[in-house]
Structure 1
Amino acid sequence: MTFDSDSGLHLPTADDELDQRIDLLRQLGLGDLDDEFDRFAAQLARDAGEPYAMVNLITHEQHFVGLHTPPGSEFPVVGRTMPRDHGYCPDVIARRKALPLPDVCAHPRFAGNAVVDKIGIRTYFGAPLIHQPTGTVLGTVCFVGTTPRPLSTGQASLQLIKERANTLMDLIHQRAPRIHCPRP
């Protein structure tokens, strides 16, 4: 990430893996909506105790191939795509590691994200989906909520999202036997 001294913020860098990611997603047969990914997201949302969970493949925009949104009108509806500059998953892609934000508003850089105002997001936990052996980040798995979490829940939530990222990569590898995808 690049530090912008004028704004005092760390800004995402260019996505050097974009072309490789798009090719790999095509080879793996990923990118289409999938009931299995939706079920995965729904189970993650239940286990995390949060209203939203996503399996997000990032190309020129974010594609939620797995999505769980809460039923009812109490929560805003989230669509299947979102611009790359919305949300926190692009930061996970750039970092190449999990991003725990028990309270996004506690961090000025993250508090100004469009999803805070549009959807009311106050907590975010996301982890990268890293393809082995290429090391390419395919996307993310995340859960988000509309109320901040106590900091004391951070480690358990971080562990949950990391475990689910590993489980999801195992699922992706099983679904794409034509590509050599050994687990590390």
Structure 2
Amino acid sequence: MSYDPPRPAGRLLLTPQDSEAPARTLRLRRLGLGQQPEPALDAFADRLAELTGTPYAMVNFLDGERQFFAGLHTPEGGRAARGGKPAVGRRLPREYGYCPHVVVRRRALALEDVGDYPRFACNPLVDEYGIRSYLGAPLTDSTGMVLGTVCVADLAPRPWGKAGLETIKSTAADLAVRLEARTLL
């Protein structure tokens, strides 16, 4: 039996159904990913945050119920955020954020201002963490399975542009190859 957290009245959360979640969970276990923080992925997230100039960068693996940030860069370094907002932790429910959309769509997603998109503006990340822009790309392995995402987020609207989209897509593709190669050693 799983626990479904209560949803605020009057708020429609539009998290997409993920029919590949059971197969993804098995694949992640076989690869040894998505269960614990990984220092190498934290360092990867740090470099990605620096490259994009964003306060948040993540390497995110998803299963049927949650998201797990095996690589995480936050401005707080894990401490409570400024302005009374909570710090982003390693785990979030599936209905939080935009990565589940990237995984199901199997395509990169650039939201320059989440407030411009009714479907995304009501996401709990906006109210609880102050996220205003997002850029993410799928981590697709050699079998064609989307394992998760590489993403960045900001507290202010950002014009990601074509360069930002190409950066996140190429970064995700490179990391997917590296993740798979490490299991073959």
Normalised TM-score (structure 1): 0.85
Structure 2 unmatched ranges of 5 or more: 1-9
Asked if 2 retains the 8 angstrom alpha-carbon contact of 1:121 and 1:144, the reply is yes
2:93 is equivalent to residue 83 of structure 1: yes
State how far apart, in whole Å, the 2-side matches of 1:11 and 1:106 are: 16
Equivalence for 2:6: none
Equivalence for 1:56: 60
Following TM superposition, the consecutive aligned residue runs of length 4 or more in structure 1 with deviations greater than 2 angstroms are 9-14, 71-76
Deviations 1:4-23 (A, max 9, x none): xxx9x994442111111011
Task: Indicate the RMSD between aligned Cα atoms, in angstroms.
Answer: 2.0
Of 116, 120, 142, the match for 2:151: 142
Deviations 1:142-177 (A, max 9, x none): 000001013xx4211111110110111121022111
> Aligned letter for 1:87?
G
Of 2, 20, 29, the match for 1:26: 29
2:48 is equivalent to residue 39 of structure 1: no
State how far apart, in whole Å, the 2-side matches of 1:89 and 1:71 are: 21
* Matched residues, number: 168
Equivalence for 2:115: 105
> Aligned letter for 1:74?
R
Structure 1 unmatched ranges of 5 or more: 1-6, 179-184
Percent sequence identity over matched residues? 48
Of 106, 119, 131, the match for 1:96: 106
Matches within 5 A, 1:4-23: 11-23=14-26
Asked if 2 retains the 8 angstrom alpha-carbon contact of 1:131 and 1:169, the reply is yes
> Aligned letter for 1:169?
A
Normalised TM-score (structure 2): 0.85
Would the alpha carbon gap of residues 33 and 90 (structure 1) be closer, same or farther in structure 2, given more than 3 Å must change?
same
> Aligned letter for 1:100?
A
Deviations 1:106-152 (A, max 9, x none): 1111111110011110110000111112x1111111000001013xx
Asked if 2 retains the 8 angstrom alpha-carbon contact of 1:103 and 1:148, the reply is yes
State how far apart, in whole Å, the 2-side matches of 1:12 and 1:45 are: 26
